Structure 1
């Protein structure tokens, strides 16, 4: 008897589930047919919206494009903060449409300039191998390596100050040549009076260092020549001097000085400017999710808005009729 009742309950449950499924299928069929009727009633309006949206989207796609001018620069004389702050200043001037200021720094068409951004070029190993503060930098990197978000920390502004190179991105409306935007901004960056004085002092210090090291190298060469002359005069083999600790130290010192002088000559080139550009890439087309797709996006938006408004109006009328019937029955 219990088994019979259990089977009976199962049959009733299956019937209920089957009825619900048929109900869902019927409602889905009704919604689908309502959609066909909606399309039939509004086919002309939808076609007009599609064509108008496509034309407007095509116009936007063919409109003035946004381009990026990218520069790799070396901020010298501890001018990293100055570079970032100037980028924020120029972007602010563009956003407030201060064309008088932008023209004053040499930008020929201020309307073209949109913004200026700076980001560090992460060179961890160059940072660690820096000839100055090598041990401090190495210890700092060890601390960073223990951090779970190493990548974010390396790009953080506090860390970014220590990287030698930074990427400057100047965004313009339409293509621009170097003389229109890039060169005036570089000239403005390098015209700062304070950093100009600092640059002159650093250059004088570097020239003095180069001169002093050239003198030391010349003295080492003179000592080595004296050793060689003495060895030849004594008829001794030069291999003898390879075991001479002082002689080997002289050779090693000279090699180190020559390497340092090579680095100093590179510094001399970089120290020509406060913000020294090392490479420039002009008119890189800036792409976004909507680039070239407005001809599809705008018709879709127009049609979705029309459908939403139509559904809202139908819902509104249905609710109003419902309330009128309730009021009439009362």
Structure 2
């Protein structure tokens, strides 16, 4: 019995020593590994430096030979045509991906081979979205309770409720508004349905402006009549007439209100002059987010990594060869 107790009492000490030994072996392995890595790069410093310079130079050459330029067109789809706009951009994207130059030339693009890609994304304006529609406010509040608001507004179903959208076109060369933007906008606006809708909307606005202008002319006539007929009366007589027959202040306010409405209608008429109305154009911005631009930094790492892998394979092969001899 006494011997068994001794064995049991010694076991914990032996196990603890074993753990410390293994920890020590692990740190020793780490030190050996670090030394091996440092020794490898010191030994092959010239080769590593040459590979880094070669990779950087090759990446720079590729970026200069095949640059990418970004064209941005800010647009506002009118008459609830956002879905139509997105479907048109999707079609263009597929035509560019499949290199369908015949289709691109048919819509007026002069150099279709220089078009690399086209995408569209909304200009996120949550305040405008919420102020413009009470239903949108309630919907966002309800959805935000069950998720992140930032991720919600990036979803496609929510994207299309924003007023402004950005068309991003990547090209392989510098472009002009005449050979890219104008044909693209003409194609996006080529819809018999929306063209007819636009004509009716424009006519309705014009009729509304005309009616309001006629009302203003009538008000001016009343004011002129008042000032002409009663201009010779004394101040007290004018005041009595004004109090008993009309509220001249309200008439003037009505005229000002009509004038403001006419101004708003004219702005609306301008903004809705096209189904897809351009708001701003930015051409030939150098795109630094493409893979080719990133090659300047990734190629040196790739070359060095391949050299390390090659050296490891050669070293492994030599060691295995010695064991077999």
TM-score (norm 2): 0.77
Q: Give the distance between the partners of 1:256 and 1:128, measured in 2 at CA.
A: 26
Please provide the CA RMSD for this pair: 3.9
Change (3 A) 1:8 1:239: farther
Q: Give the distance between the partners of 2:14 and 2:226, measured in 1 at CA.
A: 113
Report the counterpart of residue 102 of structure 1 in structure 2: 104
Shift of 1:39: 4.9
Instruction: State the secondary structure of the residue aligned to 1:111.
Output: helix
Counterpart mapping for 1:74-223 below 5 A = 74-127=76-129, 137-148=133-144, 149-223=148-222
Q: Give the distance between the partners of 1:314 and 1:66, measured in 2 at CA.
A: 42
Q: Give the distance between the partners of 1:184 and 1:177, measured in 2 at CA.
A: 11
CA deviations on 1:229-277 (whole Å, 9 max, x unpaired) are 5664474355985898855543343332211100111123233322222
Report the counterpart of residue 68 of structure 2 in structure 1: 66
Counterpart mapping for 1:296-315 below 5 A = 296-312=297-313
Instruction: State the secondary structure of the residue aligned to 2:178.
Output: coil
Shift of 1:158: 4.2
Shift of 1:94: 0.4
TM-score (norm 1): 0.76
Q: Give the distance between the partners of 1:115 and 1:8, measured in 2 at CA.
A: 73
Change (3 A) 1:186 1:25: same
Shift of 1:154: 4.1
Contact preservation (8 Å) 1:68, 1:172: yes
Shift of 1:295: 3.5
CA deviations on 1:52-75 (whole Å, 9 max, x unpaired) are 433322322323221211122222
Change (3 A) 1:315 1:86: same
Report the counterpart of residue 262 of structure 1 in structure 2: 263
Contact preservation (8 Å) 1:51, 1:299: yes
CA deviations on 1:120-165 (whole Å, 9 max, x unpaired) are 23345545665xxxxxx13431442343243444454444444433
Report the counterpart of residue 6 of structure 2 in structure 1: none
Contact preservation (8 Å) 1:231, 1:238: no
Instruction: State the secondary structure of the residue aligned to 2:179.
Output: coil
Contact preservation (8 Å) 2:212, 2:258: yes
